[in-house]
Amino acid sequence: MAVLVEETRPLAAAFAAAGFRLYLVGGVVRDAIIGQLRDEHDLDFTTDARPDDIERVLAPLAGALWAQGKRFGTIGAKVGDRTVEVTTHRAEAYSPDSRKPDVVYSDSIESDLSRRDFTVNAMALRVVGDGGADGVELIDPHGGLADLAARRLRTPLAPEESFSDDPLRMLRAARFMAGYELAPEPSLVAAVEDMHARIGIVSAERVRDELDKLLVVPRPAPGLWFLVDTGLAGELLPELPALRVEQDPVHHHKDVLAHTIAVVENASPDRVLRLAALFHDVGKPKTRSIGPHGVSFHHHEVVGARMTRDRMRALRYPNEDVDAVSRLVELHLRFHGYGDGMWTDSAVRRYVRDAGPLLDRLNELTRCDCTTRNQRRALELARRMDDLERRITELRHQEELDAIRPDLDGRQVMTQLGVAPGPVVGRAMTFLLELRMDEGPLGEDEARRRLAEWWTAQPESRV
């Protein structure tokens, strides 16, 4: 805290000299109080100065200045090694049918704090530019400090008013519950249950970013259950509450939703991996069937990959994320397809080739997907996974698995067969790649002999 205060003094002094007050606000205040302040924290300030005045005061202190947020009252700057944003006291609210907030400026820090999302974030720190240790004042009009101590999640105003101002706060509540182990007030829960449809006015990009933040907290499960239980998930991720079906209705085994949330929590807090864990079984409700041998979900990984792609596109995820997560969903059962026996070299090569750069994430997802309480089964799956990873390591040393290619390239194929670029070359390269996957490196001479044999059986060779 002391370092933070000293770093803030020059800015506070500059604003004071210009006749304005400057307050440090946001997560940095909360995290400093609970001792979780990170070095990379950006600094957010609020002031009674208007945007033009903020720009004027910051300019002599800043190595760089940007004003993209000026119409919302925010000026950004690089001051030393730190990124800072200074915003005019404001109260922003959404009109009933708008995706963008209306901005109203205020001269009061208390008014500004009252419009913030939760009491634990509605605290401000005022640093007097030339003061000593007693020149720091905590502004806490809504009891945020007490709520932090009691691990309580409340809104400064009535939750209905707070969530109407910015409906994304309903989703953000899930993150604060999970990330800071805060218990929501009953009135907050009731408001989300009543108002969850209002999240529809928030842009997909903002929803996506907030979902990502929830997924990478150490224990996201309480937040995910909150989304489902309040109905909010039905608005954002309808595939999630749809998972509330029993895996095996005969023996009343765990439902797919409970399993899914457990898999998310088992996974490392890697954003792509946890998204894959969240979506890995979304195809089960559509593929569920009950036969004489119990329940089955045939091809749910294929259906789930397609559903994952559709949902992530709706949430405006970048194509790179969509491709990676949907591919992990599609491949998450691949490990089990090889049975319980020893992996052949060919099977290992194909597994590595299909996973590509996602191999480590796929292996972890496979391990995390085992949530059984049957200790013997869990130990057996872990043993088989250990064996696969050992085989991958062995073959990598022998064959450069990460760059598997046929023994001949396209130019060599066209020269040997006397053909021009076209479908024949593609089929020949596929044939050679399959040989490479099945038998390992053949060498150029053997690959040419096999290619000649293949070519004699093709109708084009007799034309």
Q: What is the pLDDT of residues 321-374, one digit of tens each?
A: 999 999 999 999 988 866 665 677 888 888 888 898 899 999 999 999 988 777
When pLDDT is cut at 50, 70 and 90, the band that residue 314 belongs to is very high
Task: Give the H/E segment covering residue 104.
Answer: strand 102-105
Residue 433 is encoded by which pair of tokens?
């790649």
More confident call, 175 vs 299: 175
When the pLDDT of each residue in the chain is averaged and rounded to a whole number, the result is: 87
When pLDDT is cut at 50, 70 and 90, the band that residue 248 belongs to is low
Spell out the domain ranges in the chain.
2-150, 406-462
Q: What is the mean pLDDT of residues 122-140?
A: 76
Q: What is the distance, to the nearest Å, from the Cα of residue 191 to the centroid of all Cα atoms in its chain?
A: 26
The answer to whether 217 and 180 have CB atoms below 8 angstroms apart is no
Q: Is 62 helix (H, G, I), strand (E, B) or coil?
A: coil
The string of pLDDT tens digits covering residues 398-416 is 656 555 678 888 888 888 8
The answer to whether 451 and 413 have CB atoms below 8 angstroms apart is yes
When pLDDT is cut at 50, 70 and 90, the band that residue 120 belongs to is very high
When pLDDT is cut at 50, 70 and 90, the band that residue 275 belongs to is very high
Strands 82-88 and 43-47: parallel
pLDDT for res 316: 97
For residue 38, give the amino acid letter. R
The answer to whether 155 and 169 have CB atoms below 8 angstroms apart is yes
d(CA 311, CA 82): 36
Q: Is 90 helix (H, G, I), strand (E, B) or coil?
A: strand
The string of pLDDT tens digits covering residues 208-237 is 999 999 999 999 999 999 999 999 999 999
d(CA 369, CA 403): 28
pLDDT for res 101: 61
- Give yes or no for residue 2 having a pLDDT over 90: no
Highest mean pLDDT (candidates 104-118, 132-146, 270-284, 388-402): 270-284
Query: What percent of the chain clears pLDDT 90, i.e. is strictly above it?
Result: 50
- Beta bridge partner(s), residue 125: 24, 138
- Left (φ > 0), alpha (ψ -120 to 50) or beta: where does 91 sit? beta
The answer to whether 199 and 167 have CB atoms below 8 angstroms apart is yes
- Give yes or no for residue 27 having a pLDDT over 50: yes
Q: Is 206 exposed, middle or buried (0-12, 13-18, 19+ CB in 10 A)?
A: middle
Q: At what angle do helices 359-368 and 271-279 cross, to 10 degrees?
A: 50
Nearest-CA neighbor of 80 among 42, 27, 35, 37? 42
- Give yes or no for residue 437 having a pLDDT over 80: no
Q: What CATH topology corresponds to 2-150?
A: Beta Polymerase; domain 2 (3.30.460)
Q: What is the mean pLDDT of residues 90-106?
A: 67
Residues with Cβ within 8 Å of 385's Cβ and at least 6 positions away in sequence, in order, are 335, 363, 366, 367
Residue 221 is encoded by which pair of tokens?
């499960």
